Amino acid sequence: MKELFGSPGRVSGFGLRVGQFVFAAASIGVMVSARGFFNSTAFCYLIASMGLQVLWSFGLACLDLHSLRSKRNLQNPVLVSLFVVGDWVTSILSLAAACASGGVTVLYSRDLNYCKQPPYFPCSRFKISIVLAFISWSLLAISSHVMFWLLANV
């Protein structure tokens, strides 16, 4: 298998996983701190989806760290297939959650004007949380594409 930026068991791959984990956790933290987030199903789904991403990325970051320390090669077809499926499922769920929340936030702030009128939702917090979710998703998208490329080159 080729050695690409972001491959499993490389420093760049480990960095991507840590980035995904940190941004997803930050997104959850900001959303939970926003008053009234539970009024929208989309925001609850964003928290659930980012929670899944935190678990997945943390697990793979640990695996990458173990591989870096023990110099074990993680690039065998079975493991890469597993990473591809997991990455794609998490990636699609994260993008769906971020976009659904984005749609609701735009509705609140532009169409219903709920940010400057009662019930005065903290839209800026919603927006920060969604931007963090998008950053986390974009890092995951890089990992997913690298994994798919590796699998296609087996």
Binding residues for a copy of itself (CB under 8 A): 39-42, 45, 92, 95-97, 99-104, 106-107, 110-111, 145, 148-149, 152-153
Instruction: Please choose, from the candidates 133, 61, 59, the residue with its C-alpha nearest in 3D space to the C-alpha of residue 95.
Output: 133
Only one residue has tokens 């004007």, namely 113
CB nearer a copy of itself, residue 45 or residue 58: 45
Provide the minimum distance between the beta carbon of 66 and a copy of itself in the complex, in angstroms, as a whole number.
27
Q: Which two tokens stand for residue 115?
A: 């940010």
Contact by Cβ (8 Å): 50, 97: yes
CB nearer a copy of itself, residue 77 or residue 103: 103
CB nearer a copy of itself, residue 1 or residue 18: 1
CB nearer a copy of itself, residue 24 or residue 61: 24
Q: Which two tokens stand for residue 3?
A: 């050695």
Alpha-carbon 153 to chain mean position: 25
CA distance 135 to 112: 27
**Number of C-beta neighbours around residue 153 at 10 A:** 10
Provide the minimum distance between the beta carbon of 68 and a copy of itself in the complex, in angstroms, as a whole number.
25
CB nearer a copy of itself, residue 113 or residue 124: 113
Provide the minimum distance between the beta carbon of 25 and a copy of itself in the complex, in angstroms, as a whole number.
22
Angle at the Cα of 47 (from 20 to 125), degrees rounded to 5? 90
Provide the minimum distance between the beta carbon of 96 and a copy of itself in the complex, in angstroms, as a whole number.
4
Instruction: Please choose, from the candidates 120, 95, 124, the residue with its C-alpha nearest in 3D space to the C-alpha of residue 31.
Output: 124
Provide the minimum distance between the beta carbon of 70 and a copy of itself in the complex, in angstroms, as a whole number.
29
